[in-house]
């Protein structure tokens, strides 16, 4: 096949949850893609599926044919998104979308105001920032935690509901397998996560008029193309305003705010490697830089989701390849140096950063670290750590890490 197609939408109930699905065919590879929510109603149009199918079509340079009608306004937004993405990524191509047309009509947005909530630093910060405005929290299974990981999903879901109860906000819980169609064609963190987040906002438009999407990087750092504020907010439809939020604050400023919250200190979840099924493994780069900022905020000992102290030897040995980890370590080092305390931590951070492939760029006069290079490294890292072989060898890596730590202590 020489096109990408979205088949007719099929709404139904699955275990009592409203569900909508469609077949997305990418050049002959069929994907049965579904969205399931703990409460409805859900949007009846193909817009959420267009957001998901667009990136594979652009990657392959194939036209997108949709079985359904779309408003001219949404198609205009989609063309704008393609223009933005093609200007940033040379491996993407603008594609034609063939679909039926339905008239633009004045629509009153639904009264609900929601925030996507994973229990992480950014989503907690956005919730507290808009606590009086937000009516619902939305947690999605199938994004950072794959649907097949039932034990971890159960653990995280329970924590999300307990945190939401303390925040006095109801939870809309969702399940989707959109990564089945996204992952084969483009890397999740740099290219496709934004489209997946947008699809949730479009899907919930009958009940949610405003959806906050917490941004990870502050405005002084390059964001990933897929969830750049310009891309995310361009997708907004008349029924739902999708708002990129929280980029005015640095990582340390966010964590210092969360340090004041007993709820955040009970349920904070940042880990995406989840080694040995841990809620927060305390060993991966994302856990480590979060622990560093908690330590600098004086809150690490109060954060109940980390069961270990900060291991400076582990910080020293960690190579920050992903842009987020690398950028946050630089932020932490600059903060420590400005404060003049935690000399051992500053030394460990320098040793870690000096191993990074991006460090040399920042040390060369007049040479900035390019966003494209960081995105390339992020994509390569994700392809490794999301592979089955990486997950299956996790026990061996844990043994190796313990052995290196023990050998290091013996040498001292």
Reduce the secondary structure of the chain to three states and give it as a string.
CCCEEECCCEEEEECCEEEEEEEEEECCEEEEEEEEECCCCCCCCCHHHHHHHHHHHHHHCCCEEEEEEECHHHHHHHHHHHHHHHHHCCCCCCCCEEEEECCCCCCCCCCEEEEECCCCHHHHHHHHHCCCCCCEEEEEECCCCCCCCHHHHHHHHHHHHHHHHHHCCCEEEEEECCHHHHCCCCCHHHHHHHHHHHHHHHHCCCCEEEEEEECCCCCCCCCCHHHCHHHHHHCCECCEEEEEECCCCCHHHHHHHHCCCHHHHHHCCCCCCCHHHCCCCCCCHHHHHHHHHHHHCCCHHHCCCCCCCCCHHHHHHCCCCCHHHHHHHHHHHHHHHHHCCCHHHHHHHHHHHCCCCCHHHHHCCCCCCCHHHHHHHHHHHHHHHCCHHHHHCHHHHHHHHHHHHHHHHHHC
pLDDT at 391 over 90: no
Q: Where in the chain is the domain with CATH 3.40.50.620?
A: 112-245
Query: Which pLDDT score, from 0 to 100, does residue 131 have?
Result: 97
- In sequence order, the β-bridge partners of residue 241 are 210
When pLDDT is averaged across residues 11-29 and rounded to a whole number, the result is 95
Please give the torsion angle defined by the CA atoms of residues 133, 136, 139 and 140, in that order, rounded to the nearest 10 degrees.
-100
Backbone angles phi and psi of 24, in degrees to 5? -105, 115
- At residue 368, the pLDDT reads 34
Q: In the CATH hierarchy, which fold is given to the domain comprising 112-245?
A: Rossmann fold (3.40.50)
Q: What is the model's pLDDT at position 373?
A: 46
Q: Considering only residues 328 and 96, tell me which one the structure prediction assigns the higher pLDDT.
A: 96
224-260, pLDDT tens digit by residue? 566 677 788 888 877 889 999 999 999 999 999 999 9
Would the pLDDT of 409 be above 80? Answer: no
Interval 126-142 mean pLDDT: 97
Please report the pLDDT score of residue 272 as a whole number.
84
Is 70 exceeded by the pLDDT of residue 397?
no
Q: What is the structure's pLDDT at 394?
A: 58
Q: Check pLDDT > 60 for residue 110.
A: yes
Least trusted range by pLDDT, from 89-93, 338-342, 403-407: 403-407
pTM of the model: 0.84
Q: Which pLDDT does position 349 carry in this prediction?
A: 93
pLDDT value for 223: 57
- Whether the pLDDT of residue 186 is over 90: the answer is no
């Amino acid at each position: 096949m020489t096109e990408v197609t979205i088949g007719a939408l099929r709404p139904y109930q699955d275990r009592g949850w409203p569900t909508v699905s469609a077949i997305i065919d990418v050049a002959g590879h069929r994907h049965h893609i579904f969205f399931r929510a703990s409460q409805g109603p859900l949007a009846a149009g193909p817009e959420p599926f267009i957001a998901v199918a667009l990136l594979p079509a652009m990657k392959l340079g194939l036209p997108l044919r949709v079985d359904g009608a779309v408003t001219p306004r949404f198609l205009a937004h989609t063309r704008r998104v393609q223009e933005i993405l093609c200007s940033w990524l040379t491996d993407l191509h603008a594609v034609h979308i063939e679909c039926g047309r339905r008239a633009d009509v004045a629509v009153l947005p639904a009264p609900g105001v929601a925030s996507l909530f994973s229990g992480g630093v950014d989503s907690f910060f956005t919730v507290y920032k808009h606590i009086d405005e937000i009516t619902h929290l939305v947690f999605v299974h199938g994004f950072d935690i794959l649907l097949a990981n039932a034990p971890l999903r159960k653990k995280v879901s329970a924590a999300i509901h307990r945190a939401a109860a303390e925040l006095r906000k109801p939870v809309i819980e969702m399940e989707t397998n959109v990564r089945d169609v996204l992952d084969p064609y483009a890397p999740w963190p740099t290219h496709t996560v934004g489209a997946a987040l947008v699809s949730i906002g479009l899907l919930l438009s009958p009940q949610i008029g405003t959806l906050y999407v917490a941004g990870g990087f502050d405005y002084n750092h390059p964001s990933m193309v897929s969830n750049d504020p310009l891309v995310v907010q361009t997708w907004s439809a008349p029924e739902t305003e999708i708002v990129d939020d929280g980029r005015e604050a640095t990582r340390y400023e966010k964590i210092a705010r969360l340090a004041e919250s007993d709820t955040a200190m009970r349920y904070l979840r940042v880990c995406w490697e989840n080694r040995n099924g841990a809620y927060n493994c305390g060993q991966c780069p994302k856990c480590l830089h979060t622990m560093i900022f908690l330590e600098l905020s004086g809150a690490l000992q109060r954060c109940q989701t980390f069961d270990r102290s900060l291991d400076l030897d582990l910080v020293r040995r960690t190579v920050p390849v992903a842009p987020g980890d690398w950028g946050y370590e630089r932020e932490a080092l600059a903060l420590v140096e400005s404060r003049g305390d935690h000399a051992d931590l500053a030394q460990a951070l320098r040793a870690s950063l000096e191993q990074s492939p991006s460090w040399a760029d920042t040390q060369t006069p007049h040479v900035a670290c390019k966003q494209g290079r960081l995105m390339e490294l992020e994509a390569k890292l994700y392809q490794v750590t999301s592979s089955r072989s990486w997950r299956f060898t996790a026990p061996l890596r844990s043994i190796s890490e313990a052995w290196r730590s023990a050998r290091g202590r013996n040498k001292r």
